[in-house]
């Protein structure tokens, strides 16, 4: 199927993990894809997609820099055409400490990537979507944008902010046919989760032993479980879907 033919999609954090899977599935469905990441491995991901017949480019961008976000989106439009899909996926986990032991700098670092960058990318993509006459913005939050959890306060706060921001933007831009939805993944063993487990002093086997039973469908997820949800929200099949929260978590939050 090619549900995204003619669309130009930007994926932040597309060099690795969920973002790389999202970029691959969007490309497979016919979108031209631009990967924005500070990790140069984004170039390899783009080259692989191109070798498979897709149109894909990489821009080396720290998404917390407003100047870089704005200029790189403009350069994507120049090379690929009007942007009609934005996936705000770049994220970091931050340090695992309770609020009373957390430094302000650690708080601000997480909020900058997980929340402020979503604001910046959305702010600067809207004019391009407006020019195209439509758009779909998919914000990757987390089950922790919905649930509580102990000891990673900025992660929870930043992902809750993404959920609320998505609803605000959904209402603001609905009259312009720009849809905004959030996606809430459960645990998937990417580099982020490996770092999170090792910071908590857990081996992968111990982390899986703790996490697998928490997902009623059995075990943690695959990056593609999230990517297919993003494809749906990006596609015209979701033309009547905005302000929604797509939870993809093997039943964790049920
Ligand atoms: P990851 O660590 O494997 O990949 C994150 C990507 O974001 C990396 O390529 C990294 O270079 C990029 N990135 C980070 N900061 C950046 C910045 N300032 N500028 C540009 N790029 C930046 O993590 P993963 O697991 O793929 O996470 C992707 C998203 O999914 C994140 O927003 C994360 O919070 C969210 N998520 C992940 C879950 C999981 O279990 N893996 C569960 C729920 C949400």
Q: How far is the CA of 171 from the centre of ligand 1 (A)?
A: 26
Q: What value does the mean pLDDT take over residues 195-203?
A: 89
Give me the chain's average pLDDT, please: 97
pLDDT at 149: 83
Report pLDDT digits (tens) over 148-186. Answer: 888 889 999 999 999 999 999 999 999 999 999 999 999
How is the chain split into domains, by residue range? Answer: 8-186+223-239, 190-220
Q: How many CA atoms lie within 13 A of 166 on its CB side?
A: 30
Radius of gyration of the chain (CA): 17
What is the end-to-end Cα distance of the chain in Å, rounded? 31
Q: How far is the CA of 68 from the centre of ligand 1 (A)?
A: 18
Q: Is the pLDDT of residue 1 over 90?
A: no
Q: How far is the CA of 17 from the centre of ligand 1 (A)?
A: 7
The beta strands (E) that lie in the chain are given as 8-12, 32-37, 56-60, 85-88, 135-140, 178-185, 245-248
Nearest CA to ligand 1 atom 32: 91
**Class of domain 8-186+223-239 as given by CATH:** alpha beta
Where does ligand 1 bind, in terms of residues with CB under 6 Å?
13, 15-19, 37-39, 61-64, 89-92, 113, 140, 142, 185, 187-188, 190-193
Nearest CA to ligand 1 atom 31: 91
Listed residue (152, 185, 160) closest to 17, CA to CA: 185
- Give the length of the chain: 254
Q: Is the pLDDT of residue 116 over 90?
A: yes
ipTM: 0.99
């Amino acid at each position: 199927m090619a549900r995204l033919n003619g669309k130009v999609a930007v994926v932040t954090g597309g060099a690795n993990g969920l973002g790389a899977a999202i970029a691959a599935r969007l490309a497979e469905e016919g979108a031209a894809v631009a990967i924005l990441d500070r990790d140069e491995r984004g170039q390899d991901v783009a080259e692989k997609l191109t070798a498979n017949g897709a149109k894909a480019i990489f821009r080396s961008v720290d998404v917390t820099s407003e100047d870089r976000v704005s200029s790189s989106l403009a350069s994507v439009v120049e090379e690929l055409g009007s942007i009609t899909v934005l996936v705000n996926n770049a994220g970091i986990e931050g340090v695992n400490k309770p609020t009373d032991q957390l430094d302000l700098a650690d708080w601000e670092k997480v909020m900058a990537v997980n929340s402020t960058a979503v604001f910046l990318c959305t702010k600067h993509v809207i004019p391009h979507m407006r020019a195209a006459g439509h758009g779909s913005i998919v914000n990757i939050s987390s089950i922790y944008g919905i649930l509580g959890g102990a000891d990673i306060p900025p992660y929870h706060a930043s992902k809750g902010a993404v959920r609320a921001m998505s609803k605000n933007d959904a209402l603001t831009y609905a009259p312009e046919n720009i849809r905004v939805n959030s996606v809430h993944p459960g645990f998937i063993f990417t580099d982020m989760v490996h770092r999170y487990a090792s910071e908590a002093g857990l081996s992968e086997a111990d982390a899986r032993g703790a996490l697998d039973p928490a997902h009623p469908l059995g075990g943690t997820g695959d990056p593609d479980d999230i990517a297919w949800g993003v494809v749906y929200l990006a596609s015209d099949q979701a033309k009547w879907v905005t302000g929604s929260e797509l939870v993809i978590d093997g039943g964790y939050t049920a």
